[in-house]
A and B are shown apart, each in its own frame.
Chain A
Amino acid sequence: MSTEHPSPLVRSADGTNDRRPGTPRRGSGFLDEPFRLGTTPSSTVGPYLAIGLTWEDGPYAVPEGTEGAIWLRGRVYDGNGDLVPDAMIETWQADPDGLFDHPDAPAGERRFPGFRGLGRSHTVEPHGEYGVLTLKPGRVPDGEGGWQAPHVDVSVFARGLLDRLVTRVYFADEAAANAEDVVLRGLPDDASRATLVAQPSEDGYWLDIRLQGDRETVFFAV
C-alpha cells in the first residue's frame, strides 16, 4: 500500500525511477520551477454588489471642483442592446504628468493633490450609465522605448460575469498619440480600435461599453 505524502513535492513511495541511460545530469537539488500557491478563483459580484461596494466618493477620482477635471461617462449594454443597470466600472490611470503614486512606478513630483487614480461607478443612476470625475491622464512609457497614448484601464463587474472584464479608454482628440500607441496598433482593425476611443462630450468624454454584439468592446486578457 502506498500512502500519499501531504506535500505535493514528495514523490510517492512506488514512484518509478525516472533516470534513464544518458540522462545528462542529475537534479540540482533545487526545484526547476518555483513552487507556487494556486490562486483563489474569481466569481461574479452577483446582483447585490451595491451592499458591499458602494462608496460615496467612488466616482470621484479627484474631488469635485478640481481644476481641469473631466467626467468620463458612458453606458453599458448587453448582447440584446439593453442597458445593464447593475454593473460596476472601476477606472485606474496615471495623473496628467503620466505618473502613478505606487512603489513600482518611477518616482516623480506629483503635482495633483487629491488625485486618487481610481474611480468606481455603479451603473444605477442614471440607468445603465457610469460616470467618473477625473483628470485626463498623461502619456506613459510603453516599456519598449516609446510612449503610450493617454489611457485609462477599466474593470467591468456585473451579475452574469464570472470574472471581471478589462478594457481601456483612449481619447479621440489624441489622434497623433493614439496612432503611435502600442496597444491600439496591435488591434486588428479600426472598428475594434474605435470601441476604445472616447469622444468629447459636454462635460468631458463619452464611451459606451458593449458586452456583446456587432460592436462588442475590445476586452483584454491581463
Chain B
Amino acid sequence: MPRYLREREESRTPVAFAGYRSTALRAPLRTPVDLPHRLTEVTGPVLGEDRVTAADADLTLRSGGEAQGQRIIVHGRVLDSDGRPVPHALVEVWQANAAGRYRHVVDNWPAPLDPHFDGLGRVVTDGLGRYEFTTVKPGAYPWGNHHNAWRPAHIHFSLFGQAFTQRLVTQMYFPDDPLFGQDPIFNSVPPNARHRAISRFDLERTQDNWALAYRWDIVLRGRDQTPFETDDDGDVA
C-alpha cells in the first residue's frame, strides 16, 4: 500500500493567516491530530470523462455568444512531486469575468456582468497529465478585507488527484501582478512557495490572431518511496 509524502511545514499554506480576516472565526485553533495513511486515505474517487463535455473547456463561448475580454489559453501538466503525470484526472476551474465580477449572488460590486461568460470550466487531464482550457483573463476585484483591498487576477482550481491525500483546491495567478504585495491570500503562501502559484506567459502556445497563452504546472503530493536500507558499502542490505 502506498503512502503519500507529507508537505513540508515551511512551504505549505497555513490554514489561518492573520491578514485574511475570515480565518479568525473559521480556522481551527487546536493543532490537528496526525493521521497515518491507511486505505481510506490512499484511495480516492475515480472521476473522469463522464463529468465533462468538450464545451466545458472553452469558457469564452457561453449562451450562444463571445465573452468580453482578453482571450487566453491556460494549459499545463498535473504531476506528483516525483514528477509522474497524473492522468485522466478531473480539474474544475472557476473565475471572475474580464471586469472582475463573479456570476454569484454575493458579488454585488458595480462591475458589469457578461451574458456570455459564466466563469465555469471543467477538463480532464490526458494520459500524460496535460490539461488545457480557453477563457478570458479575469479582472482584479475589490473584496472589503481591509481598506482598498483588491484581489490580484486569479483562477480558482480544484483537483482530486488519485487519492484522498492528494485533494487540492488552489488559485492560479498571473506573472508580475502589481497587486501581489497587498493581498493577504497570496501572501499567506510561504515566500519560498509563492512562485508555484504563478503561471508563466507562454509565447509558444499563443495563437496567431486569436489568443495569448499561460502555462501552469500543478504538483500534487507524491508517494513516499520507502528507501532501501543500505549498509556502509552502499549495498542493499
Residues of chain A touching chain B, judged by Cβ–Cβ distance below 8 Å, are 24-25, 28, 34, 36-53, 55, 78-80, 82, 84, 86, 90, 92-94, 100-102, 104-105, 116-118, 140-143, 148, 151, 153, 155, 157-166, 183, 186-187, 211-212, 216-222
A48 to B95, CA, bound (A): 9
For A43, what are the chain B residues with a Cβ–Cβ distance below 8 Å? Answer: 13, 156, 169-171, 185, 188-189, 197
Q: Which residue of A lies closest to B154 (CB)?
A: A43
Q: Which residues in window 126-162 of B have CB below 8 A to A?
A: 156, 158
For B89, what are the chain A residues with a Cβ–Cβ distance below 8 Å? Answer: none
A160 to B18, CA, bound (A): 11
A51 to B138, CA, bound (A): 14
Say whether B168 faces chain A, with CB atoms less than 8 Å apart.
Answer: yes
Pair A221/B81 contact, Cβ less than 8 Å: no
Known: A47-B106, A52-B94, A212-B27. 15 other contacts (CB 8 A): A34-B82, A36-B82, A37-B82, A38-B11, A39-B11, A41-B12, A47-B107, A48-B106, A104-B1, A141-B39, A162-B17, A183-B35, A211-B25, A218-B30, A219-B28
Say whether B165 faces chain A, with CB atoms less than 8 Å apart.
Answer: yes
For B27, what are the chain A residues with a Cβ–Cβ distance below 8 Å? Answer: 160-162, 211-212
A212 to B24, CA, bound (A): 10
For B2, what are the chain A residues with a Cβ–Cβ distance below 8 Å? Answer: 104
The 4 closest A-B pairs by CB, nearest first: A52-B94, A160-B22, A160-B26, A220-B35
Pair B43/A104 contact, Cβ less than 8 Å: yes
19 contacts between A and B (CB under 8 A): A36-B222, A38-B11, A41-B194, A47-B106, A51-B94, A52-B92, A52-B156, A78-B25, A86-B106, A104-B2, A140-B40, A153-B40, A155-B164, A160-B20, A160-B22, A162-B17, A162-B185, A211-B26, A219-B28
Pair A151/B40 contact, Cβ less than 8 Å: yes
Pair A222/B171 contact, Cβ less than 8 Å: no
Say whether B48 faces chain A, with CB atoms less than 8 Å apart.
Answer: no
Shortest distance between the CB of A97 and any CB in chain B (Å): 13
Shortest distance between the CB of B154 and any CB in chain A (Å): 8
Q: Which residues in window 188-209 of B have CB below 8 A to A?
A: 188-190, 193-194, 196-197
A187 to B35, CA, bound (A): 11
Pair A165/B28 contact, Cβ less than 8 Å: yes
Say whether B87 faces chain A, with CB atoms less than 8 Å apart.
Answer: no
For A163, what are the chain B residues with a Cβ–Cβ distance below 8 Å? Answer: 12-15
For B29, what are the chain A residues with a Cβ–Cβ distance below 8 Å? Answer: 79, 212, 216
Pair A41/B197 contact, Cβ less than 8 Å: yes
Shortest distance between the CB of B103 and any CB in chain A (Å): 6
- Determine which of B1, B80, B94 lies in contact with A143 in the assembled complex, contact meaning CB atoms within 8 Å: B1
A82 to B107, CA, bound (A): 22
Pair B94/A44 contact, Cβ less than 8 Å: no
- Contact residues on B (Cβ < 8 Å of other chain), bracket: 35 or more
A90 to B167, CA, bound (A): 10
A151 to B164, CA, bound (A): 14
Given contacts A143-B39, A162-B185, contact A48 B102 (CB under 8 A): yes
Shortest distance between the CB of B236 and any CB in chain A (Å): 12
A101 to B16, CA, bound (A): 34
For B156, what are the chain A residues with a Cβ–Cβ distance below 8 Å? Answer: 43, 45-46, 48-49, 52
A159 to B169, CA, bound (A): 12
Pair A162/B44 contact, Cβ less than 8 Å: no
Pair A93/B39 contact, Cβ less than 8 Å: no
Pair B38/A162 contact, Cβ less than 8 Å: no
